[in-house]
Amino acid sequence: MGTDAAPLDATRRDPGSDRAAHAPLGSIVANRNFLLLWMAYGVSALGDHLSEMGLLKLQDALDPTVTDTTRRQAVMLFVFMLPFFLFGPVCGWIADRLPRKWIMIAADLIRATLMLEMLAVLTGLHHWWLPQEGTGGPLPLAVAVLPLAACGLFAALFSPARLSLLPTIVRPDQIIRANALTAGLGMIATIASAVLGGYLVTHYAVVWNFRVDAATFLFSAACLFFIRPPRAQAVDAARHGGLRAIADGFRYVHSHRRTAEVILIAAILWTGASVVRSVIPAMVKDVFGGTYQDVGIYQGLLGLGLVLGSVALTLFGPALRSELAISWSLKFAGLSGLLMTLAVAFGWHAAFCAVGLVCLGFFGAGIQVSVNATLQRIVPDYIRGRIFGVTDLCCMAGLLLATGILGIPAWPDIDRHITWIMGLTSAALFGTGIWTTRTRLRRGKFGPAITFWRNLAELHARLVARLRRDGLCTIPGDGPVILAANHNCSLDPLLLISTSPNRYPSFMVAREYAEVPVIGRIISLIDCIPVNRTGIDTASIKAALRHLEAGRVLGMFPQGRIRRPDERGEVHEGIGLLALRSGATVIPANISGTRYSDGVVAPFVRRHRAVVRYGPPVDLSPWKGREKDRAAYREVALHIMERIEALAEASLGTRTTERGNTA
């Protein structure tokens, strides 16, 4: 298979230059179109579980004599999601062909009508299905699921239109936050829906579940009506329609490996989530005891985790690589499922199961939001609807497989086996996380070990130091390079490594650090050069020259030790010696926004607003031919330091201009 035009986690821009982690949250909240779409999705999600709880009540699914509650829940979910599998690519093609806003409005209005007529339809179907029993007994499962198929069809039409519209109404640096905010509101609505749905069927007539559900869809349609999306929508499907246009979506996925991998991950997530949702009613009934309202509360705990995960991504998500968020979220989701499994198997307190559900939701949000944001970034607009249609098909294939296995065969006493069901699901999630990590590390341009530590360094730098790069990284793609920067704290090497996307610098470090177990291993891994603090270390100079002769990048701090930002200290001439003797390209860099500390540990736990700015290569032609002139070494060192300080002044001027423009 081929590769995508952009990497898995975003675009070809190096994340070190991305300002998304520092963009104000208020900028997206002030986006009128996004707010309307956000509210429309959230309020329609409020009604989802209201009808579901009503249908469970009509079946008397929590009656103690009922032994197939898991099967009933699974079949209901199976039927509702079946249209996503059968018609997902077609709905995606419609989203590429017609105005996405009006597609969603039509879907909402039709679903509202269905909900208003739901109880009458169910009563009529029940009477037709079992005329001899009348309509007073429990609703047969085969009757209860039929109207869900119709609602699922228009939900399948709504989904790719919404996901395709979102990136056209927000800025690229807002995509993570937009998806996180949408998912968060949707899950808040899910919590309220599950709890309210259980309360309504317990204390009021079932008809109110369907009436409130219809009202949510009407409100959603009203919000969508006032959205003003961009006039131009890239419509590639107009060139050819029908099956050929739909097939283009499958061909795109087949020829873009990373898109295919992201869709596979999404399918695995939906498979696992459907299993968890299906076993919750049986878990409440047989393990912890409870009522319909308790089922809603347990499902609400899963939604609470999704809300917390969405909040975390809203705050910190833009600082994360999506591929990292996906792989680690999968592993932790698997461990969370294992906690639930152990709680059920050994009869632990229900609190353990509750914690497992919340954690599952938390890490599930990390997976789903990252998957959606990744596809929205790497897939062009003209085919985005069809790709989300294919995604829906694949996700529903996993969901239908899981719920079909649980629900279609009449498994005897299936509720007794939920421990094994949860255990296998948890193992699958954890195993997928291991696979994604191994795949990502094998593809790293620096090898698995260095890629792992570099990703860890970048994660720390962007979350704790709030690192960003101002401008492009000017380090050449090949050849010997000396990277020279100012030195205000022990975090500086990590900041330079994190903002250099194509090459990683090695550094000349104090020899005692190279002897610390973990730190020493990392120092050795990136080929740092140990230096004696006392006297002239001829061996280290020779090692540095060999490093440069091999075409590597050597990071150096001309000031030597850590200094205060306003301190003008002695500049060491060693950098001049290496620059002249090696003939390496010298790239100046300025680090600002860090909090000065002469300690080693403190800068790694303090909050900073670190900014790295790279400059053009330093012109050393005036010193050509003076490779053995010690006076030239000092002149060159001073000149390099001046270039570093000039970058600081340029960076300050840029920030002042930006503040003025903002004001």
CATH of the domain at 159: 1.20.1250.20
Let me know if residue 642 belongs to a domain: yes
Q: How many CB atoms lie within 10 A of CB 508?
A: 21
Place 401 in a pLDDT band, splitting at 50, 70 and 90: confident
Q: Which residue has the higher pLDDT, 608 or 6?
A: 608
Question: Does residue 389 sit in the same domain as residue 463?
Answer: no
pLDDT value, residue 136 = 54
Lowest mean pLDDT among 18-32, 303-317, 461-475, 546-560: 18-32
Q: How confident is the model at residue 317 (pLDDT cuts 50, 70, 90)?
A: low
**pLDDT tens figures, 79-91:** 887 888 889 899 9
Please indicate, yes or no, whether residues 419 and 472 belong to a single structural domain of this protein.
no
Clarify whether residues 24 and 139 are in a common domain: yes
Same domain? For 464 and 323 the reply is no
What pLDDT band is residue 293 in, cutting at 50, 70 and 90? low
Instruction: Assess if residue 10 is contained within a domain.
Output: no
pLDDT higher than 90, residue 624: no
d(CA 229, CA 236): 18
More confident residue, 8 or 607: 607
pLDDT score of 307 = 81
- On whether both 402 and 454 belong to a single domain, the answer is no
Q: Based on the domain organization, do 455 and 405 belong to the same domain?
A: no
Which residues does 235 contact at the CB level (< 8 Å), separation at least 6? 96, 97, 382
C-alpha angle 371-252-323 in degrees, rounded to nearest 5: 25
Same domain, 403 and 538: no
- The whole model's pTM is what? 0.71
- Domain C-terminal end among 391, 415, 443: 443
For 182, what's the count of Cα atoms within 13 Å in the CB-facing half-sphere?
Answer: 28
Question: What secondary structure does DSSP assign to 121-182, as a single string?
Answer: HHHHHHHHHSGGGTTSSPPPHHHHTHHHHHHHHHHHHHHHHHHHHHHHHS-GGGHHHHHHHH
- Helix ranges, 226-321 (H): 242-255, 257-283, 292-316
Query: Which of 534 and 378 is assigned the larger pLDDT?
Result: 378
The predicted pLDDT at position 243 comes to 80
Q: Is residue 24 pLDDT above 70, yes or no?
A: no
Q: Are strands 529-531 and 506-510 parallel, antiparallel or unpaired?
A: parallel
214 and 338 inside one domain: yes
Residues with Cβ < 8 Å from 612, sequence gap 6 or more?
16, 467, 468, 469, 470, 495, 496, 499, 589, 590, 591
488 in a structural domain:
yes
CA distance 433 to 441: 12
Flag whether 2 is in a domain. Answer: no
Q: Please, what is the average pLDDT of the chain?
A: 80
Provide the residue range defining the domain that includes 305: 16-443
As a whole number, mean pLDDT of residues 499-516 equals 83
**% of the chain with per-residue pLDDT over 90:** 23
Least confident among 350-359, 406-415, 435-444, 592-601: 406-415
Nearby residues of 213 by Cβ (< 8 Å), 6 or more positions away:
47, 48, 50, 51, 115, 118
- What is the distance of C-alpha 404 from the center of its chain? 29
Assign 312 a pLDDT band (cuts: 50, 70, 90).
confident
Does 120 score more than 80 pLDDT? no
Q: Is 2's pLDDT higher than 60?
A: no
Question: By percentage, how much of the chain surpasses pLDDT 70?
Answer: 83
- Enter the DSSP assignment of 243: H
* Residue 40 main-chain phi, psi, to 5 deg: -60, -45
Which residue shows structure tokens 């982690």?
21
The answer to whether residue 496 sits within a structural domain is: yes
What pLDDT is attached to residue 134? 44
Is residue 392's pLDDT more than 70? yes
Do residues 262 and 336 both lie within one domain?
A: yes
* Residue 316, pLDDT above cutoff 90: no
What lies within 8 Å, CB to CB, of 567 at 6+ separation is none
In a domain, 1, yes or no: no
384-394 burial, b at 16+ Cβ within 10 Å, e below that, comes to bbbbbbbbbbb
Asked if 362 and 425 sit in the same domain, the reply is yes
Lowest-confidence pick of 139-148, 354-363, 638-647: 139-148
Q: Among 443, 461, 493, identify where a domain stops.
A: 443
Q: How many CB atoms lie within 10 A of CB 491?
A: 26
Burial degree of 499 (CB within 10 A; 0-12, 13-18, 19+): buried
- The predicted pLDDT at position 20 comes to 42
Show the tokens assigned to 47: 């009604």
- Average pLDDT, stretch 56-60? 76
Q: Is 305 a member of any domain?
A: yes
From first CA to last CA, the distance across the chain in angstroms is: 49
Q: Which own/partner contact pairs does 39-42 have at CB distance under 8 Å and 24+ positions apart?
A: 39/185, 39/220, 39/223, 40/104, 40/108, 40/219, 40/220, 40/221, 40/223, 40/224, 41/162, 41/182, 41/185, 41/186, 41/220, 42/182, 42/185, 42/186, 42/188, 42/189
Pair 564, 596: CB distance under 8 Å: yes
- In three-state form (DSSP H/G/I as H, E/B as E, the rest C), the secondary structure along 38-70 is HHHHHHHHHCHHHHHHHHHHHCCCCCCCCCCHH
In this structure, what token pair is assigned to residue 149? 């198929």
Which helix H or strand E contains 484, and what residues bound it? strand 481-485
420/491 same-domain check? no
How many structural domains are present in the chain?
2
Q: Which range among 317-331, 560-574, 613-627, 649-663 shows the weakest confidence by mean pLDDT?
A: 649-663
**For residue 462, pLDDT beyond 80:** yes
The confidence score (pLDDT) of residue 6 equals: 36
CA 160 to the chain's CA centroid: 18
Specify if 11 maps to a domain.
no
Q: Which two tokens stand for residue 587?
A: 């790239």
* Interatomic CA distance for residues 163 and 383, integer angstroms: 12
Return the amino acid letter for 111: R
Q: What would the pLDDT profile of 626-662 be if each residue is shown by its tens digit?
A: 878 888 989 999 999 999 988 887 655 444 434 443 3
Q: What is the 3-state secondary structure (H, E, C) of 614-663?
A: ECCCCCCHHHCCCCCCHHHHHHHHHHHHHHHHHHHHHHHHHHHHHHHHHC
| Tokens 């519209």 found at | 165
Question: Does residue 424 sit in the same domain as residue 460?
Answer: no
Which among 396, 422, 443 is the end of a domain? 443
Residue-level pLDDT at 288? 62
Res. 233: pLDDT tops 70: no
**Could you tell me the CA-to-CA distances from 395 to 87, 159, 274, 291, 459 in Å, in that order?**
12, 12, 10, 31, 29
Which pLDDT score, from 0 to 100, does residue 241 have? 61
The pLDDT of residue 113: 87
- For position 614, which CATH number holds? 3.40.1130
